Structure 1
């Protein structure tokens, strides 16, 4: 950065040299330079307004070996500061009202301008979920998915919304300037129009068409890339994001490490960490972390998603040709929509569900996680819990942490990757109660049950009770064993002491704030503080979310402690060694049972049907050999191997705890 205390005015001989280089100035008295300034690399430049220039000592080497010295050539600058060792050349129109950092490269640009006071996309209202308004989220540079969740969905708390909107408006006011910022080590080449755009350190902006009223957050650890033919207006793009290949974004927030490419278009949408969007279209969506849509024919509209995988041709409708696009939908975390699936909003889909076919009946399966929604004869059939035995669901849960591309040390979104958590287990417990109640009302031998505008086959209901029961046993057993690991107990008193929760927080219902899983009670306390005016900054809110995330496992045990007592009818403060061993045996049976179901599901991928198209000109033997040459043998498949190892490890883990507890009987 330029040291303002080191500035001086140009000397007469320097002015003469600059004029000899084809430069001119509205007033040479308005140009300030660093004390060691040399003007030989300032050629054919027109200056107006207040100008500050740094040193030009560095030489850049470009791809192909071309070398260019830092300096300013063939440009018009008005009210600009240019940092040390920056290269600016071939500005076809002009650069006005910009502070440009050190070691930047700005080439072949049409115009860069800030006119009047600009907030650079901060406090732009994004009409998410409802295109007609009512759920607008004002975006800003540090927006998290969890905070946006509150603003978009908690409209029943008007004081909360007013205070959050005021805090964001204050943030926008604080960052508003009458000049733009280009950070250090920024590269801007072959760009059409940059109007009121704030650009962070190490960003690359190349070959794009038009950027207006926006912020590109970027830093050395997480550089941001804006590429070919991009058009963006009223936007915030977070660190480490890639927006390229003719993507068009209007009134959008793009989260950390998002990829928006290949002609994707979006308006009035929020896309949070690690989302990937290509080819298709998004309209008024709330895309939580890891939402993925990659196909030309896919349209996501007026929906809330997270950890979603949208198949080709996935589509929704947000109005029924009556009062306009006023309807919305929620697809909870971890769901998938198959090719050519369709949902007519309003509707709600439970966590980790699969949507197949076309659904018009406004179903709500939020209390039935891990389900299939299948269209048959224009009706929605619900198959509860069946996704618990799907190899694809487990594979997704394993891949998300590995696909977290965020490299910025300051992470905006708190993301919990757990497949089983107080959030999903609470839903399963509700589901068990609902399904048993249906059996009691209609009869256990009924062929079809009706629930929330869906149909459930009797066989599906009975299977769901078994699968949900196994998953609940697995989670509660995991929690118990984790709590007791690593200690050689000498008495049951020591066991009871170790089982005692160390956190008072965690009881009751838990929520998923678009990636962050936390107790409702703790969120309610935060909301109350915001409404009472006890919280005065956005940073305080984000610190709360980070604290909840860091304390997850401590609070999870408090919840699990209560549920172990309630679900199994035991008292952990006086539990016997025999009861612990019984729970461990039940846990082993459930974990191994679910793993065996996953093993069977994986085996379907190696059936003769799956080999169709292999060994195209040969016998069945050649088909098998060709298949194994491409996909490998079933028993050596990495996932299959992992499942088998998991069964062995979990059996050994349970036996080890039993061995430690048995002497206390």
Structure 2
């Protein structure tokens, strides 16, 4: 706490001589070292506390401004050391301003009455008519929001979650707002009931009302020109710029919203990007990206998603209003001019092309194409496993995580293959085999729900899923047996035994966090019983699940070796392991070859169309190579070939380590 003193008579006279006014000079307090020289044309009202004005600011272009107060009215305001505040058209009321803040050319900054600064605001995600409201708070993670929005079948849980959030909101409610250290606010309209964190930069913003900007020194927030935000929370590292309009929105860490993007009643979690288009009542999990002016995302749940231009959804069928919702599971994409009539559910890492109005649920057929032909949805199961785009996406997401805040709100698992997706492939493989059995092997077209599957697509789908399962289980076994020289089969069996029983059964993707459903249920039971009763405690549970992912993953893989390979892991031998590794090598190399051939299409003659203007075919090829490079030296292509080489060597190393045991047996 700083020590403040009252102004001396000489200081009051000097301030009056510098066109300063006060209702009660006795209520203006200053620290030792305060210098009146830098306070001009200032009106003081209520209790005002002032720090020192010793430093100066260097602005773009080289102009220097000394810290101080000029042309400003302050009412119940504390100003930290070395701030520069000038040209406030109306006034600043009920704020504590940190040190080294630079505030100029602002209309008004005030807190009016008791405010929770956006905490506790209800966001009607997924269902515009209500019923799935998520209560915003500073610590909101995608996983918390997932529970609040989707676990409505457990009303006691929801009531407890609301109570926990209300407790947090009331604890942080205040009649005085805060502007942190090293904050810059320039050329801005009104700021009402907003809490602003350290190192935030607000420039050219129109209006900010009832919110929190959780900026910090590790990951500052930027709010730019023309932005309007009402009832909001913006997390560390985010940028909201260029005429963006937000109403009842939570913006997670390191998001980018700009180019006149418009959103209402929506949640955006880590590393989302929104430009040009519109969002209404969406749950945008980590890495949801939409760039195009003609794109509307509405009443949907997304994550790791890229929306093509003109992507659109409908959430009502003109009966009881906009009550329908849909889910595109992690990694799903839409092409240009795609359309989905909710309700529908699209499986993980699937691609949606055309218009789909038949409410399909393809959640157990991941990595598929949904293609519209003559108003009919055709499903191509598993084909996206061989797509170069899918592999490229999986590689780019970790690199595009821009979060610098050491306190990360969302726990993000980037794995393309995980118990979550592989369990769906097991189910998808069974579905496809059952369709084949019931409808006959010679059927040209199979019907699955409201979609059609061609015979060749069905058979390929079974093959793709089996390749991916081989790859995942083989990866898990090789990792488990890594770096150990075994003396006999029993040592192998002992090493393969899981370290925990956690991981058996169903797994879920809680908007980025992949975890066993048993652990999620344990957390939810703890919340319902009152044992877990703080936001911090809930996030700590998510942290433990995320940290133990690979331990839990092996438990799941171990249990599924028996089902897929028909081998009891308790009696497994070195000979069995070698056979599994050889199958794994075939799967990995085979899948990489498919990806390699898919990448080659990008370098075909048809892809060169538009290159080599005014020249011959040789000019076209040379122009293409100058811009895009040649196929063999493409970084992605060389990475695929290196992956084939590395994985082959990895498998051979394990085989060489244990093949002696086969000879002994």
Q: What is the TM-score when the length of structure 2 is the normalising length?
A: 0.99
SS of 1:501's partner is coil
Instruction: Provide the rounded CA distance (Å) in 2 between the counterparts of 1:62 and 1:651.
Output: 58
Instruction: Provide the rounded CA distance (Å) in 2 between the counterparts of 1:504 and 1:185.
Output: 50
- The equivalent residue for 2:204 is 207
Instruction: Provide the rounded CA distance (Å) in 2 between the counterparts of 1:289 and 1:326.
Output: 24
- The equivalent residue for 1:595 is 592
Counterpart selection for 1:571 from 568, 571, 577:
568
Instruction: Provide the rounded CA distance (Å) in 1 between the counterparts of 2:44 and 2:16.
Output: 11
Q: Is the 8 A contact 2:89 2:108 kept in 1?
A: yes
Counterpart selection for 1:434 from 431, 434, 450:
431
Shift of 1:573: 2.3
Counterpart selection for 1:291 from 280, 288, 292:
288
1:435-487, Cα deviation, whole Å (9 max, x unpaired): 11101110011011111211101110000000000000000000000000111
- The equivalent residue for 1:319 is 316
- The equivalent residue for 1:477 is 474
Matched, 1:258 2:238: no
1:63-107, Cα deviation, whole Å (9 max, x unpaired): 111111101000000000000001100001000001000000000
Instruction: Provide the rounded CA distance (Å) in 2 between the counterparts of 1:32 and 1:565.
Output: 76
- The equivalent residue for 1:448 is 445
Where in structure 2 are the equivalents of 1:540-551 lying within 5 Å? 540-551=537-548
Shift of 1:493: 2.3
1:135-175, Cα deviation, whole Å (9 max, x unpaired): 00000001000010000000000000000011001100000
Instruction: Provide the rounded CA distance (Å) in 2 between the counterparts of 1:477 and 1:339.
Output: 37
Counterpart selection for 2:273 from 273, 276, 300:
276
Instruction: Provide the rounded CA distance (Å) in 2 between the counterparts of 1:446 and 1:629.
Output: 49
Counterpart selection for 1:640 from 631, 637, 642:
637
Shift of 1:654: 0.5
Show structure 2 runs of 5+ residues with no match: none
Give the number of equivalent residue pairs.
662
Counterpart selection for 2:137 from 136, 140, 155:
140
Instruction: Provide the rounded CA distance (Å) in 1 between the counterparts of 2:264 and 2:16.
Output: 48
Instruction: Provide the rounded CA distance (Å) in 1 between the counterparts of 2:125 and 2:29.
Output: 47
What is the CA RMSD across the aligned residues, in angstroms?
A: 0.6
Instruction: Provide the rounded CA distance (Å) in 1 between the counterparts of 2:505 and 2:189.
Output: 55
Instruction: Provide the rounded CA distance (Å) in 2 between the counterparts of 1:103 and 1:475.
Output: 53
Stretch of structure 1 that moved more, 348-357 or 448-457: 448-457
Where in structure 2 are the equivalents of 1:133-172 lying within 5 Å? 133-172=130-169
Matched, 1:61 2:51: no
- The equivalent residue for 1:179 is 176
Matched, 1:111 2:126: no
Where in structure 2 are the equivalents of 1:335-484 lying within 5 Å? 335-484=332-481
Shift of 1:217: 0.3
Matched, 1:218 2:215: yes
Instruction: Provide the rounded CA distance (Å) in 2 between the counterparts of 1:362 and 1:642.
Output: 39
SS of 2:412's partner is coil
- The equivalent residue for 1:561 is 558
Shift of 1:491: 2.0
SS of 2:218's partner is coil
- The equivalent residue for 1:619 is 616
SS of 2:91's partner is strand
1:583-614, Cα deviation, whole Å (9 max, x unpaired): 00000000001011001100111111111101
- The equivalent residue for 2:228 is 231
SS of 1:352's partner is coil
1:34-77, Cα deviation, whole Å (9 max, x unpaired): 02211110100000001000011011111111111101000000
SS of 1:634's partner is coil
Instruction: Provide the rounded CA distance (Å) in 1 between the counterparts of 2:117 and 2:4.
Output: 29
Matched, 1:660 2:660: no
1:245-284, Cα deviation, whole Å (9 max, x unpaired): 0000000000000000000000000000000000000000
- The equivalent residue for 1:528 is 525
Instruction: Provide the rounded CA distance (Å) in 2 between the counterparts of 1:46 and 1:624.
Output: 72
Shift of 1:494: 1.9
Q: What is the TM-score when the length of structure 1 is the normalising length?
A: 0.99
SS of 2:520's partner is helix
Matched, 1:303 2:300: yes
SS of 1:635's partner is coil
Instruction: Provide the rounded CA distance (Å) in 1 between the counterparts of 2:606 and 2:58.
Output: 56
Q: Is the 8 A contact 2:364 2:427 kept in 1?
A: yes
Instruction: Provide the rounded CA distance (Å) in 1 between the counterparts of 2:158 and 2:259.
Output: 36
Instruction: Provide the rounded CA distance (Å) in 2 between the counterparts of 1:452 and 1:95.
Output: 61
Matched, 1:609 2:615: no
1:307-345, Cα deviation, whole Å (9 max, x unpaired): 000000000000011111000000000011000000000
Instruction: Provide the rounded CA distance (Å) in 1 between the counterparts of 2:150 and 2:20.
Output: 57
Where in structure 2 are the equivalents of 1:12-27 lying within 5 Å? 12-27=9-24
Instruction: Provide the rounded CA distance (Å) in 2 between the counterparts of 1:381 and 1:75.
Output: 66
Q: Is the 8 A contact 2:513 2:546 kept in 1?
A: yes
